[in-house]
Structure 1
Amino acid sequence: MPVHQLPGNPSLERLRKQAKSLRRDARAGMPHALGLVAEFHPRPPASLTLSDAQLVTARMYGFTSWPRLKQHLDTIRRYSRSPHQVGAGGELADEFLRLACLTYGTDVPGRTRQADLMLGTHPRLAAANVFTMAATGSYDALGDLLTEEPDLAVRQGGPFAWEPLLYLSYARLRAPGRWVESARLLLECGADPDSGYLWEGLTSPFTALTGAFGGGEHDEPAHPQALELARLLLRSGADPNDSQTLYNRGLGDEVFTDDTTHLELLLEHGLGGGDGGPWRARLGPALQSPRQLLRDELSTAALRGGPNRARLLLAHGVEADSIGAHPVYGGHTPYRLALRHGHAEVAEVLASAGASTTPDTTDAFAAACMRADADAVAALGPEPLARALTTTPELINYAAEHRNAAAVRLLAELGFDVNHLLHCTPLHEAVWNDDVETARTLIELGADPRIKDTEHDSSVLGWARFGGKRQVEAILRGLTP
């Protein structure tokens, strides 16, 4: 039974309206509604009542009943936070914390440095309250306070309504602090090693472990004592099946590296096993199983080019032909992903581990293009090229994303559009990587710097300025008004 994805930050009122629409459409004999009833109702009735429609709605999102779905929405409401939307202007201690911590929405370069300046001007901020003590790693002051009031270790407060352990793990300050020792104090006083929140209600919890490792779509820095802090949290009982950590350090990492440090630590403490911990107990089917997290990690290694990650995951029993659940994998096996994205070493690692290695002509064509092997492309004949131009025009976007200027040039010569708009153009990809060679190649081949992406409605120059991509910005400045 395929399950639909519940929208981010879901509204109970919107789901009620959806159930009412389903009842109306089913009674009117609409095929799509009747299909949903047949698929998701355990005993499809002749005439759909509202409670029947609510049951179908719940089951299509993976919940056994409407009350279970409502319970899930209550959980989201309880843990949802939007730290990136908290504005300036609060009390001095709150403003310091707002600037000192990663928020995954306002983490522009230099923002946390403002907190350092505030601390230099107002050193007493470090001991203003339990939250600033945690953020600054003020071990002695924190110890004195918790001796008097140990319950403060689990109290929520500050600008983001977080527990102290979250301010500690998401703070990014230059001034040295005794963060690991301070975290141990909090844990000894009852702080939850799995403490976390749901960013804007999205069902991938941002835990203390997530904060320690950092990473993400804007290359957010890790905590100054990341490994020691993460190790302490895991030894204290934090569940290693941390979906947001895996996303931030893998699929969602702005600058992907084949570093396996975080994976080794998580695997050492049981990543891929167990029941998924307290967050999966709270969120149920909205959170992937531990085993599926590992399958997605192998697909990420194939998609983004991580042979070391692939070896590590295969050594821990991940199936070579496993399928990642995220839509970006397109339902392809890791081997096919590696071929299509030009990661020959990953493909060899997977083949050695027993992956199915009979590529179709589309895969062979993509692999040859990503190797910039014009002779191999020609040897395949005209049919794969004609098919690829129709079915996979985004190959040139992938080549740009992977800093493969030679493949970009070959694909353009074969007729691929240098301005192909996937969610952005190949030039956007090169700009975000600050990849001068690929950007120059695309511009030479006719890329239009005025085209805007579909998500942010921004030109490549806007991307360069927002991301601080100074090298390509210098090239673009003279090309766009």
Structure 2
Amino acid sequence: MPLPADPNLEQLRHRARALQRAVRAGDPAALARVAEHHPAGVPAEPARAGFPRNAAQLVIAREYGFAGWPRLKRHLDVVTRHRRDPDPAPPPGDAAAEFCRLACLNYDDDGPRRWAEARRLLAERPDLTSGNIWAAAAAAEPVTVARLLAGAPELAGQDGPPYGWTPLCYLAYSRLDPAVPAEPVLATARLLLDAGADPNAGFLWHGLPTPFTVLTGVFGEGEQGPGRQPRHPHSLALARLLLRAGADPNDGQALYNRMFGPDDDHLVVLFEFGLGSGDGGPWRQRLGPMVDPPAVLLHRQLDWAAAHGFADRVRLLLRHGVDARTPPAGGRTPVEVAAAHGHAEVVEVLVGSGVPRPVLRGVDALVAAVLAGDRRRVAGLLAAAVAGHPALLLRAADTGRPEAVELAAELGFEPDATVDGATALHWAAWRGHLEVARRLVRMGADLGRRDDRYHGTPEDWAGHAHRDELVDYLIVQARGRSDPSFDANSPEISD
């Protein structure tokens, strides 16, 4: 299992002491943990009273994937050096640090409001970059950066407030101006690299093991979507510059952040520079097996693409030799995943590469047929699926395919069913699937339903993701339901 966020040695020592006490007391769950992870197994009953602390520490270490306690301690030392908080408070009165905090992605409270505030602050205080290389880098001011480096070239490799990043990171994560010209950005990057900046610089967000590197910041995006975490305005040119300077293309966090949408320009660039080859780069040397090797990174990309119908990405990965035959431990092969999700085009691409065609039966066959919008194949399988997959319509909505949503509803699947407390309309709002939302509303989806985790309505989710058109649509529809005299379905209003 993975280490928790913000891991620390004292916390793990407490867990080892708790395990030691539980083993001495004969607790069955504790004994099962020892049996699974200690090479000597469970001590005989008379010896349990003397179960030593170092044995408990060994079990804890192995539960987290380390060979022993010393290796775990060395890992935590690395985490301590590179761990960063997502949104630290800047030093009081430090306008440059506050500017950097607002201008850059932090993968916590991101969004256009912060970047607009950074622009306002810089307009009020244009001098705040003059003596601060981190702010000058975030603002992409090559003249200022050149002047500061001329007096102190070592600044190119120094961490600065508020995030404890190098200047190159502030440049890469900055979203200050979506219309910034390419030349000042690239010129700033060249100055820093020529002065010795590390193109593989990065940090561990909350101490978690997948590093956020300079490339991660350049390629942007992530779980909060492109509205809140966009790629850098010159992501491809800046990425190529960094890769030529030695940035490792096997960037697990960048791959993860960009896998949610179908665009593959980041993969094309990374493959140009050796994605999938090598030993995983300097971060894997630091963190060892906590960082996935290149082959595993690409297998994960293929699995995701197969599950989400990204046929072009599947073709791209296959062209670069990614193994499509071997399933993850205990899992399905990519072609089985694609078939189960109704992605016929992906199935044909994989079968065309020599992978055996999968055979789906029973409920799996019905699920695939509904997701593919294939009415004929659905006949005779519906009753078992309704009982076994009550949230199928939500899955259809999440794919962004309105015809699948409509078919699922016609077959009796519930539009307000939830997964993790959120409905199909919540997810359509978050993803920006306007046509899916229209169909859900027409079939009676609950506009005021609040999700269980954040207690937000679909309108709240759309607003948080900056899906402005969807926000407007949901507001109009809510008014139409509350005011019988208001025609929410008028073409002039709803469309």
With the length of structure 1 as denominator, give the TM-score of the two structures: 0.90
1:368 is matched with 369
- Contact kept in structure 2, 1:341 and 1:398, CA below 8 Å: no
Identity value in percent: 46
Q: Which has the larger radius of gyration?
A: 2
**Would you say the 8 A contact 1:151–1:189 is kept in 2?**
yes
Establish whether residue 192 from structure 1 lines up as the match of residue 192 from structure 2: no
- Partner of 2:432 in structure 1? 434
Quote how far apart the aligned CAs of 1:88 are.
9.5
Q: Is the 8 A contact 2:173 2:218 kept in 1?
A: yes
Measured after TM superposition, the shift of residue 285 of structure 1 is 2.4
What runs of 5+ residues in structure 1 fail to find an aligned partner?
Answer: none
1:61-80 aligned within 5 A: 61-80=64-83
- Call closer, same or farther: CA 1:356–1:324 in 2, change over 3 Å: same
Q: Is 1:331 aligned with 2:348? A: no
Q: Of 148, 163, 170, which residue of structure 2 is paired with 1:167?
A: 170
SS for the counterpart of 2:112 is coil
CA distance in 2, matches of 1:102, 1:32: 42
Give, in whole Å, the separation in 2 of the partners of 1:449 and 1:15: 45
**1:305/1:343 contact within 8 Å kept:** yes
From the superposition, tell whether residues 425 and 322 of structure 1 become closer, same or farther in structure 2 (CA, over 3 Å).
farther
* Cα distance, 1:389–1:172 mapped onto 2, change above 3 Å: same
Inter-CA distance 90–204: structure 2 relative to 1 (3 Å threshold) = farther
Partners of 1:28 and 1:415 lie apart in 2 by 53
Provide the C-alpha distance between the structure 2 equivalents of 1:261 and 1:142, rounded to a whole number of angstroms: 30
Contact 2:87–2:163 (Cα < 8 Å) also in 1: no
Greater mean deviation of Cα atoms: 84-93 or 122-131: 84-93
Q: Which amino acid aligns with 2:265?
A: T
Matching residue of 2:489: none
Distance 1:387 1:26, change over 3 A: farther
| 2:17 is aligned with 1:13 | no
What amino acid does structure 2 have at the position aligned with 1:119? L
The residue type paired with residue 474 of structure 1 is: D
Which residues of 2 match residues 456-467 of structure 1 at below 5 A?
A: 456-467=454-465
Q: Aligned letter for 1:377? A: V
Name the SS for the 1:159 alignment partner. coil
Using the TM superposition, give the Cα deviation of residue 126 of structure 1 relative to its aligned residue in structure 2, in angstroms.
3.5
- In the alignment, what sits opposite 1:240? 249
Aligned with 2:3: secondary structure?
coil
Evaluate the alpha carbon distance shift between residue 262 and residue 184 of structure 1 in structure 2; reply closer, same or farther with a 3 A threshold: same
Partner secondary structure for residue 455 of structure 2: coil
- 2: CA distance, partners of 1:324 / 1:233: 32
Distance apart, 1:475 and its partner CA: 3.5
Deviates more, 1:413-422 or 1:146-155: 413-422
Paired residue total: 465
Structure 1 Cα separation of the partners of residues 216 and 428 of structure 2: 28
Structure 2 partner of 1:50: 53
Distance apart, 1:324 and its partner CA: 5.6
Unaligned runs of 5+ in 2: 483-495
Match status 1:130 vs 2:139 = no
Match of 1:97 in 2: 100
User: What is the 5 A alignment of 1:61-460?
Assistant: 61-86=64-89, 90-174=93-177, 175-176=180-181, 178-217=184-223, 218-219=225-226, 220-250=229-259, 253=260, 256-257=261-262, 259-323=263-327, 331-361=331-361, 362-378=363-379, 381-382=380-381, 385-423=382-420, 424-460=422-458
Separation in structure 2 between the aligned mates of residue 216 and residue 285 of structure 1, nearest angstrom:
23
Pairwise CA distance, 1:66: 0.9
3-state SS in 2 of match to 1:397:
helix
Task: Tell me, in whole angstroms, the C-alpha distance in 1 between the residues paired with 2:449 and 2:258.
Answer: 30
CA contact (8 A) 2:38 2:58 kept: yes
How far apart in 1 are the matches of 2:460 and 2:93? 31
Residue aligning to 1:479: 478
Whether the aligned pair in 2 keeps the contact of 1:241 and 1:272 (CA below 8 Å) is yes
CA displacement 1:106-150 (0-9 Å, x = unmatched): 222242123223333433334231112222222233223212211
Query: In structure 1, what is the equivalent of residue 486 of structure 2?
Result: none
The alpha carbon displacement at 1:65 in A equals: 0.8
CA contact (8 A) 1:295 1:322 kept: no
Question: Does the 8 Å CA contact 2:201/2:214 hold for their aligned counterparts?
Answer: yes
- Whether the 8 Å contact between 2:88 and 2:163 is mirrored in structure 1 is no
1:128/1:305 Cα in 2 relative to 1: closer, same or farther (>3 Å)? farther
Report the Cα offset of residue 374 of structure 1: 1.9
**CA, structure 1 residues 90+396, in 2 after alignment: closer, same or farther (shift >3 Å)?**
farther
1:261 Cα offset (Å): 1.7
Contact 1:292 1:324 (8 Å CA) reproduced: no
Q: Distance in 2 between matches of 1:345 and 1:466?
A: 33
Decide whether aligned partners of structure 1 residues 397 and 88 sit closer, same or farther in structure 2, where only a CA change above 3 A counts: farther
CA contact (8 A) 1:86 1:160 kept: no
Distance change (3 Å), C-alpha of 1:110 and 1:342 = farther
Q: How many Å separate the matches in 2 of 1:390 and 1:5?
A: 34
Structure 1 residue 451 displacement after superposition: 2.8
Q: Take 1:336 and 1:50, find their aligned partners in 2: how far apart are those partners?
A: 46
Report which stretch shifted further, 125-134 or 227-236: 125-134
